Structures are given as structure tokens and as C-alpha cells.
Amino acid sequence: MNVGVVGASGYSGEVLVKLLLGHPQAKLAAVTSRQHAGKAVSALIPALRNTPADQLKFSDSDPAALAARTDIDLWFLALPHGTAAEFARALVPAGRKVIDLSADFRVANLATYERYYGVHHAPELLAVARFVLPELTAAGWSKSIQLAAAPGCYPTSTLVPLMPLLQAGLVSRDHIVVNSFSGVSGAGKKAEEQYLFVERAESAKAYGLTQHRHLAEIEEQLTVAAGAKVVVQFNPHLAPMRRGIATTITVPAASGASLDQLYAAWQAAYAGRPFVAILPKGTTPDTAHVTGSNRVDISAVHDARTGNFILTSALDNLVKGASGQAVQIMNLWCGFTETAGLI
């Protein structure tokens, strides 16, 4: 199957190109970039020198021209929010499958999206789009959509440990506190003072408190899981590392809920899922152990003194938090082995 990547010059776009070039069933036939049109892909991604990327050149990113290409079956949009919607508006009506790595179609409620992101540039597509977190989205999703929204990195690190517990009634939906630390690649390729090496090295800081954009996605999905409104205190931080997400969730245990029941709920939810690793009790995830993988590691402890469960997770923000998860979605959507190109 031929696939294309729109906007491959960013960090997640580079990882996506690398994964697709090694995929056994998908052929990367088009890579676009307005800024780098005409250049060999390996010129922009030197790690791919002396590979087929030498012969693959960036093409211009014109939505109408891409929609007219009948040789591409599926497009990945590795673009900022707002811009991605403009391409989806051309590609979806043309009958192409689209997997969007931006936030444009992650939030189903238009008013919520516009509160966090501003004007939506393709609201008519929300009806045919679906937020897809492969391990948690209800079975059958691949038969009913035209556009898949890949979850963000912070939401993946939060939803994977927390959603099954809300669904099982093992935790409260009140007083949930999420503290997350992200590598600076999560901000993308942009020149801002706070992302300079001398600013971030040996330094960590909170940012986006009370209104981080990923909060919209997290709360909407948790509300669906719980069947009632869920409000989360989300505290993101920048950490002095290039990539990775480490998340700690403090949530009150439901009356009578035990750690054994929590682990049993996780085992039931993730049995046979290759990209969720449930660590033994007393072992906490480490970003160093998931870098470069499409895996999320999770674990939990119970604090008898406070009555809280403390859930921890770690993932690579550029793989399971972005490009790897997008490839995983493609695999399931197109009938490939779920792990194809990812292990």
C-alpha cells in the first residue's frame, strides 16, 4: 500500500519517515514540505543517508494536488493544528484515508476545541473523524471512520493507566491530579528561549498550568470512560531531556478497592496488547527504558495513609506519543499486523 506524509520536516515527521521506510507492507511514496520541496529526504534527515531516502524527494504541500493523487491510499498529517485541518478538508472528500497527528480532530466537541485552540478550520469533518488510542478505543472503529486522530503524548501517558480504572469503578472521578514531565522535543522545532540548551540543561519547570491544550483531550476521553463529567488537575513540566514523557497520577481509590483489583483491571484491559507493559508492583517506569520504542510502561502503588492510588507511566513522546502510535493505527485500520514496522 502506498502512503504519504505531509509535513515531514518536524521531529515527529522525521520519526514517521524512518518508521515507514522500514515498514514491511506500506511503501512511503510521497513526503511533502513547502520549505524543502525538491530536496532529497536524506538531505534533511542525515540518519537516512545511503538508504532509499536518497531517492525520495520532498514535494510541495498543496492540498488539492495531493488529493488528486490516486496512487496514495493513506496520508499522515504531521502538521500543526489548524494547518492539518486544511489538508484533511481536501483529502477526506477525495476518498483518502487520513491519520492526523495534530490536535485538530482529537476533540469531538467543537466548543471545547475552540476554547483551547481557536477557530476550527474543518468542523464539518468532526462527524467522520475518530479519536483512536488503539488499546482503548472501542472495537469496530476501523469500519466506521474516514479520519483517525492520533492521541497526544501527554494524553496517552494519562489515559492508558487511568481509563480502565475509571471504567471498572476502582477510582474516584474527583480530585485527580496528573503531573507530567516532557522532553523538549515535544514542543517541536522552533526557536524559543526556553527551549535553548543553556536554559533547559539541569533545569526543570512547570508550564501551561490550569489550561494546557491537552487537557481538553484528556478530560473528554475520561468523561466518556466514566459516563460522567471528569475534571483533572493537569500539571505539565519541561524536563532536561530530549524525548520522553514521565507521568504520575494521584487518584483516590474507590471504597474497598485494592491494588490487586487495580492490577487485575489492567491485565484484563491490556491482555495481548503488545505496546503496554504492566510493571511489577513496586517498580516505577523510566523514560530511558522506552526511548525509541512504541511501548508505554505503567505501574501503581497504594498509599494506605492517604487512600490514594499513585499511577506512573513512561513513554517516548515521538513514538508511542506521536508517530509510532500513528503507524500502529494504520496497521489496525488497514488489516496489517499491529506490530508491523514497530518492533
Q: What does the alpha-carbon distance between residue 295 and residue 342 come to, in Å, rounded to a whole number? A: 10
**Residues 79, 133, 153, 225: which is the catalytic one?**
153
Q: Is 161 within 8 Å of 311 (Cβ atoms)?
A: yes
Q: What backbone phi and psi angles, to 5 degrees, belong to 78?
A: -105, 70
**H-type helices in the chain, by residue range?**
11-21, 41-44, 63-67, 83-91, 110-117, 153-167, 197-200, 214-226, 259-270, 324-333
Q: For residue 250, which of 341, 320, 176 has the smallest C-alpha distance? A: 176
Give the position of cell 520536516: 9
**Which grid cell is 127?**
462527524
Q: Assign 203 to helix, strand or coil.
A: coil
Q: How far apart are CA 171 and CA 110, in angstroms?
A: 29
| Residue 153 a catalytic site member | yes
Strands in 147-149's sheet, in edge-to-edge order, are 58-59, 27-32, 2-6, 74-77, 97-100, 147-149, 129-131
Annotated active-site positions, please?
Answer: 153
